[in-house]
Structure 1
Amino acid sequence: MARVSQEHLDARRRQILDGAARCFARNGFHATSMQDVLKEVDLSAGAVYRYFSGKDELIAAIVGEVLGQVHEGFEEAAHSVPPTSPDLLVTTVLGRVLASRESLTVDGRPAFPRLVVQVWTETLRNDELAALLRDGYGAVQDAWTRIVEAYQDAGMMRSDVSPEHVARTMMSAAMGFLAQQALFGPMPADVLRDGLRALMSVQDHSSVNLLETRSN
């Protein structure tokens, strides 16, 4: 019997993960059965269960993969000197994640943002998934905190604000953008970039007025 190549195994695993993601995005986790997944990927039960024991393992694999990609992008940025500005950094990483899942669609619309919202909802009842998400977001937050500290060290950002608070805010911007995509339809990452850039340009008028008073 011919030996199955690793390339074939990886392609089959990708086929199953993408098919499951479409099912979950379309109907949610509870309304999706393993039979739905089998039908979506057009494979036998044996072929699918060779890779995944059931829905929970599929969900964990999908979530872990996405969080790993996001973490990798921000971890790479954390080692840049000086770090890329927040408006470009967030949209570059988020845009890369969205582009990598561009082919995943449900009813002609991107499936990934809808899947993300489904995952957030599922964490309210699935403790294992909630723990996985906490660990994943914790790693992303840690990378972002180091990026903010680099901004402050380079004089690019005021130093009297907690780096952790800034990190949480930037993560909230990315998460909110995904939620909007799920609710209102696709939009380019440039929208987030431009919005962040505009917010970053806002001046503290109390500080400006104080400087003007002192100069007079």
Structure 2
Amino acid sequence: MNMPKVSDQHKEQRAKLILLAAENVFKRKGYELTTVQDILDEAKISKGGFYLYFNGKDDVFAELEKQFELYLFSSKKEHLNPIEQLEALIQGVIHVINDLEKTIYPILFEYYLESYRNAERKESLERRYERSLAEIVSILERGMEQGLFKPRISTTSIARMLMTYLDGLVCDSMQLGKEKIHFEEQVLVIKQIMNDLLGKADQRC
């Protein structure tokens, strides 16, 4: 007897259901304490239904991380110029900070906190770092090609500095709170630093 075919749309909806359930459980219990069974219970699906889409908890986490990166770099749209793309990236991080409890950043933080003694997680973190670096360098180099930026140092150095600053801003906001770190002032500082380094102090990224 032939089994009825499952449409691609149905598959996509089921995968989204599992991802949403996993995200809810991760936020509630943390990554380490969450089990596949917790996700099954939250999504109200069978183990077979889960493994039809994902290989395990790590696989689900990887997809959630991918979606988070896509959100941050959704600034790379053709209708935006490089200055606007940088602004959109910074605004995306600000949005994450303003709604930390609604994002998966705290889960990412917990997961990668173990990277210094977990080789697999360290490799994953390194790949994530290189992807983000390449995205930002690409924006900066397009800005140079269009005559919008005249960087005082290499685009790679600027991109590394921006990533380090923004990551630190999110981490400190999460652990200490926005008021303690003078969040709004720090945002103005990074924008001014970027404008100065890019040789466009008269424009605002």
Taking structure 2 as the reference length, the TM-score comes to: 0.70
Question: 2:187 and 2:108 mapped to 1: Cα distance?
Answer: 20
Gaps of 5+ in 2: 198-205
Q: Does the CA contact (< 8 Å) of 1:145 and 1:167 recur in 2? A: yes
Please state if 1:5 is matched with 2:4: no
Question: 2:196 and 2:157 mapped to 1: Cα distance?
Answer: 18
The structure number with the bigger radius of gyration is: 1
Q: Which amino acid aligns with 1:88?
A: E
Question: 2:117 and 2:57 mapped to 1: Cα distance?
Answer: 14
Pair 23,70 (structure 1): closer, same or farther in 2 beyond 3 Å:
same
Q: Does the CA contact (< 8 Å) of 1:87 and 1:193 recur in 2? A: no
Give the aligned CA root-mean-square deviation in angstroms: 3.6
Q: Look up the match of 1:66.
A: 68
Gaps of 5+ in 1: 204-216
What's the % identity of the aligned pairs? 23
Deviation at 1:197, TM superposition (A): 3.3
Q: Which amino acid aligns with 1:176?
A: G
Aligned with 1:164: secondary structure?
Answer: helix
Taking structure 1 as the reference length, the TM-score comes to: 0.67
Please state if 1:35 is matched with 2:37: yes
Deviation sequence 1:148-183 (CA, Å, 0-9, x none): 334455665553312111101111233223324432
| Residue from 178, 190, 196 that aligns with 1:196 | 190
Aligned length: 190
Q: Does the CA contact (< 8 Å) of 2:31 and 2:107 recur in 1? A: no
Deviation at 1:144, TM superposition (A): 1.4
Q: Does the CA contact (< 8 Å) of 2:22 and 2:42 recur in 1? A: yes
Question: 1:161 and 1:195 mapped to 2: Cα distance?
Answer: 18
Q: Which amino acid aligns with 2:115?
A: T
Of the two structures, which has the highest relative contact order with CA contacts closer than 8 Å and spacing of 6 or more? Answer: 1
Q: Which amino acid aligns with 2:28?
A: R
Please state if 1:89 is matched with 2:88: yes
